[in-house]
Chains A and B, each alone.
Chain A
């Protein structure tokens, strides 16, 4: 077992001549909640996109539990154990809540079922569907979405859509969960609830979490360590209080 769940080495990407992210070195231990913060346009989401295979890094590489994942397509990276949520919620809007979670379960080895088995309704199709539905129901119960399971995802209130997105990401059975601004657009009460949820996920799913967030109350509340980015460069890293007290960081956020 490698020392770190996620380790990036000099991770960087440039679009044409623009160096969007340079030399990001993240080291995330197991069961840690790690924050990635920085002003707008600092390249946080770009880092997420590199870690999930949307973009391929032009320099450096990254390892999940010691296995190099650079260059794999998105679905393969997901199979290896990195799941994510999105900054602006991306649910399957025209599908029911339970089906959203079942899509997340789709590629688990235990729910394998070939096309022909499904087309001709062989016994395994029914067995697999039942197993998937039961598993999805369990997840929905955990996140308090069980009652709404047959609603369209589109009709859920905002906070529940966020929760559903996390539930769907967890359905893919990841070892590392990436949350992209989970508290965006939430009121303080909802944020407090979200912090509980994130802690709950870490403890009960044995999860390591990397999150992007602008809400400092959430970052100081739950993160163990943070990395501060600005213009694609690491400004500071380490314990939350120390990193936020760094004069460079204060300058980046507030100006001179």
Chain B
């Protein structure tokens, strides 16, 4: 018994906090929906939340860890949604699971991820030579191109699928009551991939590029390879989210995936603290919930207020997080201090200094918060020809 207890104590539970939290929440809701039926509004909300978590965590890989600003995330999602929709339509026509079984989902998920990943590679190869704002413009344009092309595409294949331009594509829809369970599994998968990537030597190379590209090159890191790696994995995960989206809806329309959607995902990443997976999960949940609540409570004439209130909340959060004047207030009242207070005063756990010294604890400090202007800065550009070569180091 004691051995087992020791083994349990030895595990670094800190590394698994995200999995445990998501697993418990997912499990509770799954049991609830399987025993007593949950109301439709709750299941749809859970669906949207899981979808947005997948998107936010995958985007945080590019924005938070790679330090590049990408505004084309909805574009990759759109590609995934159409790829997944086509596969499920073909499955339906071939009378396999009516196009809405687990097998269909797995097959279309893999294909959606691969197709989106390929597009990520094709876009990333030329675009990742750019930095900051310029990369943002290119990815933004990519998202709009994908949307516009698919909006104007009329393609009908007999015994297959039917893309009807701006009307979108009809796809078989999953059972609404249980779809969000798949959503939770996808969240776990995404967190698993992103966290394991970041906490490995490959992730270390990616964060090194974010911190100082010139030094990373001089330390023998193949910058192009690792930038592409981060970008492609992020695009593939967005593709998976797109497939999930196509399974949640009867109709996949390209106009949904406009740049507002990309920006909304970016907001989730920024609010969660860039380079912080748990933060992205929490802020994706909170923002989706606030959005849905506002949408349902403000009806009729008041609907205009929705965007205003939403924007106000964002402004308040950002000011609270960054205003120098509120520094004192922030240090006094924050979550970490609250947890410490509960630990010391309520649970009476002594602060274990030896644990701090442990090398493993350095892993937890990998995802550090970086400021938005660091991502946007065009810090250092190697110019092949310049008037003043010795001044290249700013």
Contact = CB atoms under 8 A, between A and B. Distances in A.
Query: A and B: real partners?
Result: yes
A92 B366 CA distance: 12
B221 A107 contact: yes
B217 to A, nearest CB: 4
Contacts of B301: none
Contact of A172 (B196, B219, B229): B219
Contacts, number: 144
B211 A95 contact: yes
B221 A90 contact: no
Contacts of B221: 75, 103, 106-107
Nearest to B383: A15
Interface in A113-142: 113, 115, 118-121, 125, 128-129, 132-133, 137
A41 interface: yes
Nearest to B195: A119
A137 B358 CA distance: 13
A80 to B, nearest CB: 10
B219 A168 contact: yes
A182 to B, nearest CB: 15
B359 to A, nearest CB: 6
Contact of B229 (A20, A45, A107, A115): A115
Interface string A62-94: 000000000000110011000110111011111
Interface string B208-251: 10111011111111110000010000000000000000000000
Contacts of A217: none
B193 interface: yes
Given A104-B219, A106-B204, A118-B197, A92 B362 contact: no
Interface stretch (B83-91, B130-138, B384-392): B384-392
Contact of B216 (A103, A150, A169): A103
Contacts of B356: 150
A152 B367 CA distance: 12
A96 B389 contact: no
A43 B366 CA distance: 38
Contacts of A113: 200-201
Given A54-B382, A78-B219, A92-B215, A111 B201 contact: yes
Contact of A78 (B203, B212, B218): B218
B207 interface: yes
Contacts of B212: 90-93
B365 interface: yes
B331 interface: no
Given A49-B392, A113-B201, A150 B218 contact: no
B74 interface: no
A14 B349 CA distance: 66
A121 B192 CA distance: 10
A149 interface: yes
A157 interface: no
A52 interface: yes
Kindly state the interface size class of chain B when it binds its partner.
Answer: 35 or more
Given A54-B382, A92-B212, A95-B211, A129 B389 contact: no
A18 interface: yes
A52 B211 contact: no
Nearest to A15: B385
A118 B202 contact: yes
Q: Of A16, A55, A88, A171, which is in contact with the most chain B CB atoms at under 10 Å from its CB?
A: A55
A99 interface: yes
A111 B204 CA distance: 13
Contacts of B158: none
A41 B392 CA distance: 11
Contact of A88 (B204, B357, B393): B393
8 A-B pairs with the lowest CB-CB distances in the bound complex, closest first: A118-B200, A78-B220, A92-B211, A90-B215, A74-B217, A94-B368, A103-B208, A107-B220
25 contacts: A15-B385, A15-B386, A45-B390, A55-B389, A75-B217, A75-B220, A78-B218, A87-B393, A91-B215, A92-B212, A93-B211, A94-B211, A95-B204, A95-B207, A95-B368, A96-B362, A102-B201, A104-B220, A107-B220, A115-B197, A115-B202, A115-B229, A132-B201, A150-B357, A172-B220
Interface of A: 13, 15-16, 18, 20, 40-41, 43-46, 49, 52, 54-55, 74-75, 78-79, 83-84, 86-88, 90-96, 98-99, 102-104, 106-107, 111, 113, 115, 118-121, 125, 128-129, 132-133, 137, 149-150, 152, 168-169, 171-172
